[in-house]
Chains A and B, each alone.
Chain A
Amino acid sequence: EVQLVETGGSLVHPGGSLRLSCAASGFAVRGSYMTWVRQAPGKGLEWVSTIDSSDVTYYAGSVRGRFTISRDNSKGTVSLQMNSLRDEDTAMYYCVRDDYGSGSDWGQGTLVTVSS
């Protein structure tokens, strides 16, 4: 059974940094497309970043240059390093496994709150 568990969300001040981690089980992170999607309170879904099967990374314009996605194949984890955080980065962050061009499996989410 595929399982994704996100950790690392917390309250952080504007300009601060945070690292989210996603522990995957039930499949090999190596060679998988893995994505982070976020959802601001009361709002819709927003794609944030994807790392593809060749470790090429992609970012939404709103986070490019501030966020970095990476994976550790030996640990079966995917991470999202978030720097220079802004109020508008406040959201639930979901780790997603992509298959057949879609988010086939989602974690339960980890909440990031950016506030002074």
Chain B
Amino acid sequence: DIQMTQSPSSVSASVGDTVTITCRPSQGISNWLAWYQQKPGKAPKLLIYATSNLHSGVPSRFSGSGSGTYFSLTISGLQPEDSATYYCQQTNSFPWTFGQGTKVEI
């Protein structure tokens, strides 16, 4: 199984800051990486698919990059509504696996 190591586990930042979350798969996954945002009591929402593609309706302050065994999600110009937990997921091979999550506090 591919292990997804996500870091940091939590981060505290201010409005307007830039935050970067990283995800390291235990083996190469091509570009089959997605990022999700989850707020308390809600279902996750897709932010980024295939490493760097912004899902419909997602603000452009979210961006993704990476390849192989290193991926990142960057939130530029943090907004109060970005307070949430963020997860990466690989869909290169089954079993699909998620990172453990990063809680972003503002």
In the complex, which range does the number of interface residues on chain A fall in? 20 to 34
Q: Which residue of chain A has the shortest Cβ distance to B95 in the bound complex?
A: A60
Listed residue (A44, A61, A94) with the most chain B CB atoms within 10 angstroms of its CB: A44
How far apart are the CA atoms of A115 and B27 in the complex, in Å?
Answer: 37
Contact across chains for A101 and B43 when beta carbons are under 8 A apart: no
> Within the complex, what minimum Cβ distance (angstroms) separates B76 from chain A?
21
8 Å CB interface, A34-49 against B: 35, 37, 44-47
A contact patch SS: strand
Q: Which residue of chain A has the shortest Cβ distance to B53 in the bound complex?
A: A100
In the complex, which range does the number of interface residues on chain B fall in? 20 to 34
B32 cross-chain contacts in A, Cβ below 8 A: 101
Q: Which residue of chain B has the shortest Cβ distance to A45 in the bound complex?
A: B98
User: C-beta contact mask, B76-106 vs A, less than 8 Å → 1, else 0?
Assistant: 0000000000010101001111111100000
Whether A14 is near chain B, meaning CB under 8 Å from some CB there, is no
Contact across chains for A106 and B98 when beta carbons are under 8 A apart: no
How far apart are the CA atoms of A47 and B45 in the complex, in Å?
Answer: 15
How far apart are the CA atoms of A18 and B91 in the complex, in Å?
Answer: 27
Whether B49 is near chain A, meaning CB under 8 Å from some CB there, is yes
Contact across chains for A47 and B98 when beta carbons are under 8 A apart: yes
Contact across chains for A108 and B94 when beta carbons are under 8 A apart: no
How far apart are the CA atoms of A107 and B44 in the complex, in Å?
Answer: 9
How far apart are the CA atoms of A103 and B32 in the complex, in Å?
Answer: 12
Contact across chains for B44 and A103 when beta carbons are under 8 A apart: yes
How far apart are the CA atoms of A22 and B44 in the complex, in Å?
Answer: 16
How far apart are the CA atoms of A62 and B6 in the complex, in Å?
Answer: 22
Contact across chains for A103 and B95 when beta carbons are under 8 A apart: no
A44 cross-chain contacts in B, Cβ below 8 A: 87, 98-101
Contact across chains for B98 and A103 when beta carbons are under 8 A apart: no
Task: Give B contacts to A, CB under 8 Å.
Answer: 1, 32, 34, 36, 38, 43-46, 49-50, 53, 55, 87, 89, 91, 94-101
